[in-house]
Amino acid sequence: MYTYPEIIVDCVVVFKDTATDDDVEAAAAEVLANGGVLYHMFMPLLKGFSAYLPPTQFYRLQSSTGPDGLVDYIESDREMSIA
């Protein structure tokens, strides 16, 4: 059995325009059901959310970023400042 490396991933998950609100909400619910922490839902301004993703959820969502997937991109959630 393959074990995922232990990574801590605080990230922003943004879905494609073709994803429905139900798709985004289902993905967020799956993150919560599998040990993740949902920080913020961005809808209706942006289809996506910020969350802590356990490794299995990170890799699952990352696998949905292809041309046929619903996820547009996943990026690290970090604090930004203007100098």
How much is the pLDDT for 55?
Answer: 85
Domain boundaries, the chain: 9-76
9-76 to CATH, choices 3.40.50.300, 3.10.20.30, 3.30.70.80, 3.30.365.10: 3.30.70.80
Task: State the pTM of this model.
Answer: 0.81
Q: Hey, what are 40's tokens?
A: 């913020």
Digitized pLDDT (tens) for each residue of the chain, 83 residues in all = 555 555 657 899 999 999 999 999 999 999 999 999 999 999 888 999 999 988 888 888 988 888 889 999 998 876 655 66
Q: Residue 56's pLDDT is what?
A: 85
For 26-43, b/e burial (b = at least 16 CB within 10 A) is ebbeebeeeebeeeebee
* pLDDT of amino acid 31: 94
Q: What is the pLDDT of residue 76?
A: 80
